[in-house]
Structure 1
């Protein structure tokens, strides 16, 4: 009887472990570079490059990244992971009106004429 009880306990523990493993949240990570934008980065592509192929600027760190000379339509892709977002702001240093909030694995084809900074952050 003792052996059967032990077997049942081991079986129950194995099932519980399998259930916990199956329900545990997966780590959100990009599978591979997206349009040559490396994992963990936000990439801005040259004016008019559609589809996005080779970024002209790559942003890695959280905070505001000021832009110069970016006009008309560009792709911007958020290839970050772990819930990190990016947004576009009309002023330098992440000031002014901010819009186009991009969750990981999202991007925008948008007019950069009014955009003067890109902000990377975790909401």
Structure 2
């Protein structure tokens, strides 16, 4: 039985669609308690707990500058592989840094003096 080019393309596209649907999109799974994707560091809105949606999600190593973050905020380190996070009072990870967070830790702290969040591998 001879097939047309259109019939072959429809079969091929159907197979590709089935494979893509089976694999699904690559998504980072959020931790059930913190709504923070696995592999990220999350900062939550002022006065809201980690059960809310994060206002900032940091994925890459290095300094992440902040602006307009005052009073108490929750921050969660949901990274893996031993990656840490710390808070610094200067931009670009400068000045005094504190709150060295190991993976799987987090807390509520005053972000008024904090101007950057640094993700790093010790």
TM-score (norm 1): 0.72
Q: Distance in 2 between matches of 1:88 and 1:119?
A: 6
- Corresponding residue pairs, total: 93
Helix, strand or coil at the partner of 1:83: coil
- Contact 1:52–1:75 (CA<8 Å) still a contact in 2? no
Give deviations 1:12-53, integer Å, cap 9, x for gaps: xxxxxxxxxxxxxxxxxxx85241100000000000003542
Helix, strand or coil at the partner of 2:92: helix
The equivalent of 2:35 in structure 1 is 36
Helix, strand or coil at the partner of 1:48: coil
The equivalent of 1:120 in structure 2 is 119
Q: Distance in 2 between matches of 1:97 and 1:115?
A: 9
- Contact 1:77–1:106 (CA<8 Å) still a contact in 2? yes
Q: Distance in 2 between matches of 1:95 and 1:107?
A: 21
Q: Distance in 1 between matches of 2:55 and 2:72?
A: 13
TM-aligned CA deviation for residue 108 of structure 1: 1.6
The equivalent of 1:45 in structure 2 is 44
The equivalent of 2:10 in structure 1 is none
The equivalent of 2:110 in structure 1 is 111
Aligned-residue CA RMSD (Å): 1.3
**Structure 2: gaps (5+ residues):** 1-28
Q: Distance in 2 between matches of 1:93 and 1:71?
A: 18
TM-score (norm 2): 0.73
Helix, strand or coil at the partner of 2:45: coil
Give deviations 1:49-108, integer Å, cap 9, x for gaps: 035421000000000000000000000000000000000000000000000000000002
**Structure 1: gaps (5+ residues):** 1-30
